[in-house]
Amino acid sequence: MTSQDILNIRNFSIIAHIDHGKSTLADRMLECTHTVSKRLMVNQFLDSMELERERGITIKLKAVKMTYVSNDISYILNLIDTPGHVDFSYEVSRSLVACEGAILLVDATQGVQAQTVAVVDKAFSYGLKVIPVVNKIDLPYAMVEQTALDIVKTFGFKQNEILFSSGKSGEGIDKILQKIVEVIPPPQGDLKKPFRALIFDSSFDEHLGVLASVRVVDGSLAVNEKIKFFKTNQSSSALKVGVMAPNFCDYSPLSAGEVGILATGLKDIKQVRVGDTVSKQGISTEPLLGYNEPKPVVFLGLYPLNSSRFLDLRKALERLSLNDASLSYEPESGGALGHGFKCGFLGLLHAEIIQERIEREFNLEVVSTTPTVAYKVSLTDGVAIFCSSASFFPDPSKIDFIEEPVCELTIYVPSQYMGKVIDLCSQKRATILENNFVGNVELQRVKLKFIMPLAEMITDFYDRLKSISSGYASLDYEIVGYAKVDAVKLSILVAETAVDALSRIAYRGKALDLGRQIITALKETLPKEQFPVALQAAIGGAIIARETIPAMRKTVTQKLYGGDVTRKNKLLDRQKEGKARLKQMGLGRVQITKKAFWKVVKIG
């Protein structure tokens, strides 16, 4: 590798909304560059995870090296695949940092979507060269011209910069490859400087230990050389050095500008942090600018359906967190639910994907509680704590004020649904920031921006947005900070005993409603006892809702024929006494059944 060779490298990713055809375009590129032969091609080649295939979405990014010849010059094209969903925006940042350019792919039947706008903004902010492409032009109802105009209006591209393609027929693919070579700058890097590389992904291999996906910035690294990691101060040696083309190939040394894989031999994935810089031992260099580590924002309890499989669940979470730094978990005890884990996720889709992977890859059935957010509680002694569960909610007398995470929502929707969307958002405690027509007039599309509490966003918001807009609304959200909230601990009492596992942290304005729903659900599901059971919802000392489950009535009077009322009453009285005695002796403590628990924890 020479400094001249670096000039022939292009590192790029593809930015597209889900289903706009990114994986299919990648397939065509793999074919066009003869990286994968037609015979071995399967659709969405890069989405190798079974779950990704089935859902047709990309979760983990993958980097693949292709060779492309143009005007007799051979170029190395490194395609870094990125996921399209907002929950994985962390992975998107990671791949963008490793590139100099990106293809912006827009489905000609759908137009520009909100999430795409957010990602393109990010790409511009990293200084990437963006190539706009209108895709799926083969479809009979494709709005090719409108979509091009939409791209021009939304991002400020020139009309003549826009390319057109079909991942289905292969039309336009060669033009895209040609354009990549022409307009995306080669990586900058200095071969003579000491080796430095940015880690943008990691995975685990039984034999080779942690595999780091790296973008080399300066110098080069050969197999067996000694390496070190800045953040964790861990040392190791490069057991293997190579590239994915598309399967692993030994390729050593890996030099400035290149993208590849480095096997570290390390058994503990925490030693190899995404965003960290890897360099050689004994040579001093400055670390590269990494990026912020993701912070889980949505929490929910995961419990094994069969409580004897708690340890299996722990093993599954351990394994999954190996290549997903954003997944957090800690043991939690949930009363009748048994033992499980309180898990932290980047968003609801992330939570759903993890749950499904546990069920599939570990053959373990799990159930989940309603998602919650972490409240920031500032105490009167000046300390602030994060609290996502009612059991740890501080005593109100010790609380100074409470804040909750809020997000900024961007919604694109055809204008006829605008009123309904605004209504829904105001029910969800949102404030509107912006309300504009975008793109050309024929599309009649409105861009709405709101600030909304994350707690409202993570319940049924997305489903309701989709249903009121007949599926047309597109949504992007970003956590922007914390805002003060009047939140309370909503305690649930069963037979005068507070049950923490059923209690919640709730916005005061919705606590009454929520309390009623929970009490009603308990009344419907708890079995009758021999004595009446009081169900109460309380805030502090004040009962805000109550119901009673009547006592089971044994048919003590059945054996009496005829109408001897006094005798009948006597029998009933005796039964009552018995029940009172039972209750006093504490023998009749109410068992909260699993069924009742599940009904309550699902209330959002």
The contact set with ligand GDP (CB under 6 A) reads 16, 18-24, 44, 56-58, 84, 135-136, 138-139, 166-168
Long-range contacts for 311-316 (Cβ within 8 Å, ≥24 apart)?
A: 312/362, 312/364, 313/340, 313/341, 313/358, 313/364, 313/366, 314/341, 315/362, 316/358, 316/361, 316/362, 316/364
Which residue has 């009123």 as its token pair? Answer: 419
Between CA 458 and CA 522 the distance in angstroms is 24
Q: Report in angstroms how near the CB of residue 57 gets to Mg ion at its nearest.
A: 6
Q: Report in angstroms how near the CB of residue 186 gets to Mg ion at its nearest.
A: 27
Q: Report in angstroms how near the CB of residue 445 gets to ligand GDP at its nearest.
A: 20
Q: Look up residue 114 and give its two tokens.
A: 């909100």
Residue 18 or 212 having the CB closest to ligand GDP: 18
Q: Report in angstroms how near the CB of residue 175 gets to ligand GDP at its nearest.
A: 14
Between CA 319 and CA 530 the distance in angstroms is 47
The answer to whether the beta carbons of residues 422 and 448 sit under 8 Å apart is yes
**β pairing state of 474-484 and 504-507:** unpaired
| The entry of ligand GDP, Mg ion, none that residue 168 binds, CB within 5 to 8 Å by partner kind | ligand GDP
Residue 135 or 213 having the CB closest to ligand GDP: 135
Q: Which stretch binds Mg ion (CB under 5 A): 15-23, 108-116, 458-466, 519-527?
A: 15-23
| The entry of Mg ion, ligand GDP, none that residue 536 binds, CB within 5 to 8 Å by partner kind | none
Residues 6 or more apart whose Cβ sits within 8 Å of residue 4: none
Radius of gyration of the chain (CA): 29
Between CA 576 and CA 570 the distance in angstroms is 10
Using CB under 5 A as the binding rule, whether residue 24 contacts Mg ion is answered as: no
Q: Which stretch binds Mg ion (CB under 5 A): 50-58, 348-356, 377-385, 393-401?
A: 50-58
Between CA 598 and CA 83 the distance in angstroms is 33
Give the per-residue contact string, 504-533, with Mg ion (x = CB under 5 A; - = no): ------------------------------
Q: What is the residue-wise DSSP string for 174-214? A: HHHHHHHHHHSPPPP--TTSPPEEEEEEEEEETTTEEEEEE
Give the per-residue contact string, 56-95, with Mg ion (x = CB under 5 A; - = no): --x-------------------------------------
Residue 26 or 518 having the CB closest to Mg ion: 26
Exposed, middle or buried by CB within 10 Å (0-12, 13-18, 19+), for 9?
buried
- 246 prior amide bond cis, ω within 30: yes
Residue 134 or 198 having the CB closest to ligand GDP: 134
Q: Report in angstroms how near the CB of residue 147 gets to ligand GDP at its nearest.
A: 13
Amino acid identity for residue 187 in this structure: P
Q: Which stretch binds Mg ion (CB under 5 A): 51-59, 87-95, 208-216, 364-372?
A: 51-59
| The entry of Mg ion, ligand GDP, none that residue 28 binds, CB within 5 to 8 Å by partner kind | none
Exposed, middle or buried by CB within 10 Å (0-12, 13-18, 19+), for 516?
middle
Q: Report in angstroms how near the CB of residue 22 gets to Mg ion at its nearest.
A: 5
Residue 44 or 146 having the CB closest to ligand GDP: 44
Using CB under 5 A as the binding rule, whether residue 116 contacts Mg ion is answered as: no
Amino acid identity for residue 340 in this structure: G
Q: Report in angstroms how near the CB of residue 86 gets to Mg ion at its nearest.
A: 15
Using CB under 5 A as the binding rule, whether residue 23 contacts Mg ion is answered as: yes
Between CA 237 and CA 221 the distance in angstroms is 10
Residues 6 or more apart whose Cβ sits within 8 Å of residue 216: 189, 195, 196, 197, 254, 255, 256, 257, 258, 259, 260
Residue 134 or 424 having the CB closest to ligand GDP: 134
Q: Report in angstroms how near the CB of residue 18 gets to ligand GDP at its nearest.
A: 5
Q: Report in angstroms how near the CB of residue 94 gets to Mg ion at its nearest.
A: 17
Residue 56 or 481 having the CB closest to ligand GDP: 56
Residue nearest to Mg ion (CB): 23
Q: Which residues pair with 214 in a beta bridge?
A: 199, 260
Q: Report in angstroms how near the CB of residue 133 gets to Mg ion at its nearest.
A: 15
Residue nearest to ligand GDP (CB): 21
Residue 84 or 334 having the CB closest to ligand GDP: 84
Residue 23 or 147 having the CB closest to Mg ion: 23
| The entry of Mg ion, ligand GDP, none that residue 111 binds, CB within 5 to 8 Å by partner kind | none
Q: Report in angstroms how near the CB of residue 347 gets to Mg ion at its nearest.
A: 18
Residues at the contact surface with Mg ion, assessed by CB under 5 A: 23, 58
